[in-house]
Structure formats: structure tokens, C-alpha cells
Amino acid sequence: MFTKVLIAEDHEMTSISVTKTMRDLGISETEYTYYCDDALMLIKKAIAKGQPFDLLITDLSFEEDHRKQRISGGTELIALAKTLQADLKVLVFSAENKPALVDGLFKDLGIDGYVRKARHDAKDLRAAMETIFLGKTYLSADLKQSVKEKNTFEFTSFDITIISLLSGGTLQKNIPDYLQANHIKPSGLSSVEKRLNVMKEVLGFSKNEQLVAYCKDFGII
Amino acid sequence: MFTKVLIAEDHEMTSISVTKTMRDLGISETEYTYYCDDALMLIKKAIAKGQPFDLLITDLSFEEDHRKQRISGGTELIALAKTLQADLKVLVFSAENKPALVDGLFKDLGIDGYVRKARHDAKDLRAAMETIFLGKTYLSADLKQSVKEKNTFEFTSFDITIISLLSGGTLQKNIPDYLQANHIKPSGLSSVEKRLNVMKEVLGFSKNEQLVAYCKDFGII
DNA sequence: TTCATTCTTACGGTTTCCCGTAAGGAAAGG
DNA sequence: CCTTTCCTTACGGGAAACCGTAAGAATGAA
């Protein structure tokens, strides 16, 4: 099993339980922190001492408080940690239930496991630790389902830009201005309209409001 | 301190920590359950045995799984529990961060405390237990703030109906048909338009897409 | 009852959105 | 070099949404 684990989790309650789980698994060196900035610092120090962490367990969303943080959340923390220590195993422990988001974590950040805070999360966490230790990746059972049955449609960054602008209040007819200002091509109004039509047709929608609701539900925007 | 406490919480991890907190507080008789139906049954049994619970600590949202439940969530559980045992103290322990909702719990259900799952929730929970035991009510510090600084618009059920229809793909001009069919008044198109305008103005929005995104973000729809 | 206030609805003009068609442009292949 | 194809863009008619106005209905008070 892993010997040196770092836990980044802002909820005191959750942190207590995770720590207990580590103890149950016989992991002696467990450090934990409530802030992303501290987590990165601990990773740095551990590397400097020649005793890097084997595993990082982190939440995704960290709440703001009086202590101003440079790192905004788990996603950014993982990216930065990987630049310092490419072989660091990462296990995300979060309540997020958005397949698209979790997919992105595996694909873009190369995380090793995702356990959702849910009914059987303690068992899940233990199983994840064991699976990851064997060099495999782990995904909570409940999330596997939804990833499988997820929609085939792939949103391009262009799509996401359009929908973000709409949900931000930009008039459809003004979107070309924004696209040109940011050197995004294509930038014609017809191209925007066409892309919106494609998305709506694939997903069986008729209105932009539906698209926005859908993207919010699946964490696309 | 309380002697007999019931915990209703579906997340294994959280349940572990809450149980530990109870032990730290020296509460010997702690029962816990993962389902609302079970919780109500335990309350019933305890009353029947002449040894009712002093305190119920419950989450609000319980996830569905293979076990079908009659009681849908914490709110309903509390209401039913109070009919069985009016003097039962209730402490809600949830991640919900909506002042309006929490307000309603205190006012309509007469709960005694609300602790939000957040950074210092373990400390909060302990403080809440002590405060409630003294016969006072408890509200997490962080929520007190947001209650004060709340600029949250109060969505009526009419508002929510409209936005739900829009995000479901209904054409704005067809909404009156739905309203009439369901005997919702007012039902005129102008009333729908007016209401949408009010919402958008209050929140500083200009487009329906923004409203949908906002309502999704805050769990209103 | 009568009057006043408020809420609801109906109507028209303007803007935006929707959708089909066709023209312009770039890349690939012959 | 030209042609084909695909992508992008421009344009225009019609539908929907937006917005102000005014008429009509409901509520409450004198």
C-alpha cells in the first residue's frame, strides 16, 4: 500500500473520516491540509527533502474564506502538482456528479481515480486506494454508469464559447463581434446559428434555454 | 448533554465523522441510519419503548438507490418525526447554502439548529449540540453572514414554473396554454412576459438564457 | 354601491431570432 | 491550372420575443 499520502480537503468532517480511513489502511505518513496553496507547498517540501508523496487525495471545490489563496481549486492544484512531480498519483474525492467534468479530469489531467462523495464513499475510497496502488485507474460504480450512458455529442470549445456567451447575456447577433475581437474563427453569425442548430438537433432540443440547462447539468459550462 | 441521539445521513464518510463527534461529546446512545424510512421507524420504536430520542441529526438530501423509500428527504422526515414526538430536538446537517431554504426550516418546521457542511463543520456541530442542549437555536456562522448579505431574489412557484417550461423547450408564447391547462393563474402571455422582466431586472440580466443558467447554479430548477 | 387601486390581459410596433438560399473563399486532388 | 468539395459568410422573409400602452377584471375601502 501507499506509504506517504497528502490529503487536501477543506471540510473538517470529511477530513476526519479520510484520515481515519488512511489509518485503517495502515498508512502511517498522512498529512492533511485545508488549503490548496498549503498542499502545493507540502508537495514541494516533500520533493526537496527527497521524500515525495505517493498519492494526493483532493477535493475539487474549496470554499473561500479569510485566507486568500492563489490556487482556486482542486483542478488547478492537480495541474500544478503534476508539473512538480509527474509520477504523483492523484485521487479526486468530490461530490461532483458530472460525467463530462470527470472525463476531463482523467483525460486532461491524467488523474488515477475518482470517488464521488455519496452513499458508500468510505468503501469506495478504500477500493480506490487499492486499485490505484496496483497501477490501475478507479471510478466510482455509480459514475461508471452515467459515463457509459453519456451522450455521444462532443462539445467543441467553439460550442462552449457560444453557449457561455449566451448564458452570460450576450445577444446572439452580437456574438460575431466577440469572436472577431478574440480572433476566433469562424466568426460569422451564420456559423454561430448553424452550430447552435447542430447542437440542438443532436440533443433533440428546440430552444437555447434547453441547451443552457443541459450544459449546466453536465458541467459543460 | 444529550444522552440519546439519532443520526440520519446517507454518506458513509460523514456518518463516520458524526459518530466520532458524538463519542467525543460523551454521548453513549447513538444510533445511526442511512435511510429516512429507517430513521422514522427507529423514532417510533424508541417512543414505544418509553425511551425516545433527545435529538435527531439529519441531512436534507438523500440519494436514491435500490431500496425504495417512502420518505423522500430530510424535510419530510423532520415533519413526520415532529408529529410523532413534538418535543424532539432537530439539528439539520446539510451542505445546502440557501438562506431562504434554511429560513423555512426554522420557521415552518421549527428546527433547533442548522450546521452547514463546510470548512469548520466539526467544530460547528459540536457548538450546535451544546447550544441546542441549552434550549437555544443554532445557525452556522457562515450562514448568518449570507442571510444578512443576501440579495437573493425570492422565486415564486409561478416563476419556477415559467423557467422550467422554458428550459424544457416550451415556446414562450405557448406557456399560457400550459398555465390554463393546469389552472394556474395568471395565465396571460403578458403576465409571463412581465414576470420574466421582473426577474431579469432584479438579477441584472437581459436574456432568458441567463436566468436558466442562474437557476441551475443555485438549484432552483 | 361607488370609487380607487392593483392585477391581468390584449394589442401593435420594433427588435431579435430562426431558417433557407446563394454567393464567396480556402484546401485538396487531378 | 482548374475543378470539386467543404466551409464560411451574407442576405431576406417569416416567426418569436420584447416593450410600451391601454383596456378590462378583481379586490378592497369608503
Distance CA B94, CA B116 (A): 5
Please state, for a pLDDT cut of 90, what percent of chain B lies above it: 69
Q: What pLDDT was estimated at residue A189?
A: 93
Q: What pLDDT was estimated at residue B154?
A: 78
Q: Which bases on strand D have an atom closer than 7 Å to a protein beta carbon? A: 7-11, 16-22
Q: What pLDDT was estimated at residue B38?
A: 95
The verdict on B202 touching A (C-beta cutoff 8 Å) is no
Q: Which residues contact B107 (CB under 8 A, 6 or more apart)?
A: none
CA of B188 to C1' of D24 (A): 13
Q: Which three cell numbers stand for residue A9?
A: 480537503
User: For B156-182, how does the pLDDT look when each residue is reduced to its tens digit (9 = 90+)?
Assistant: 889 989 999 999 999 999 999 999 999
The C-alpha of B214 sits at a distance from chain A's nearest C-alpha, in angstroms, of 9
Least confident interval from A191-200, B17-26, B148-157: B148-157
Q: Considering the domain delimited by A4-144, tell me its CATH architecture.
A: 3-Layer(aba) Sandwich (3.40)
User: For A63-92, how does the pLDDT look when each residue is reduced to its tens digit (9 = 90+)?
Assistant: 888 888 999 899 999 999 999 999 999 999
- Select from B10, B11, B13 the residue whose CB has the most chain A CBs within 10 Å, as the one to mutate to test that interface: B13
Nucleotide nearest to B200 (CA to C1'): D18
Domain boundaries of chain A, sorted by first residue: 4-144, 153-217
Q: Which amino acid is at A188?
A: G
Q: Is the pLDDT of residue A24 over 50?
A: yes
Q: Is the pLDDT of residue B147 over 80?
A: no
Residue that is written with C-alpha cell 438523500 in the block: B62
Q: List chain B residues with CB under 8 Å of A166.
A: 207, 209
Pairing of strands B89-94, B29-33: unpaired
Q: Is the pLDDT of residue A40 over 80?
A: yes
- Whole-model pTM? 0.79
* Sheet strand arrangement including A89-94: A29-33, A4-8, A55-58, A89-94, A113-116, A138-139
Q: Which three cell numbers stand for residue A215?
A: 450544459
Distance CA B96, CA B121 (A): 13
Q: List chain A residues with CB under 8 Å of B13.
A: 13-14, 17-18, 117, 121-122, 125
**What is the average pLDDT score of chain B?**
90
DSSP string covering A125-186, please?
HHHHHHHHHTT--EE-HHHHHHHHTS-SPPPPHHHHHHHHHHHTT--GGGHHHHHHHTT-S-
Distance CA A213, CA A197 (A): 16
CA of A209 to C1' of D24 (A): 33
Model confidence at B148, pLDDT cuts 50, 70, 90, reads very low
Nearest C-alpha neighbor of B4 from the set B38, B37, B50, B41: B50
Q: List chain A residues with CB under 8 Å of B206.
A: 169, 171
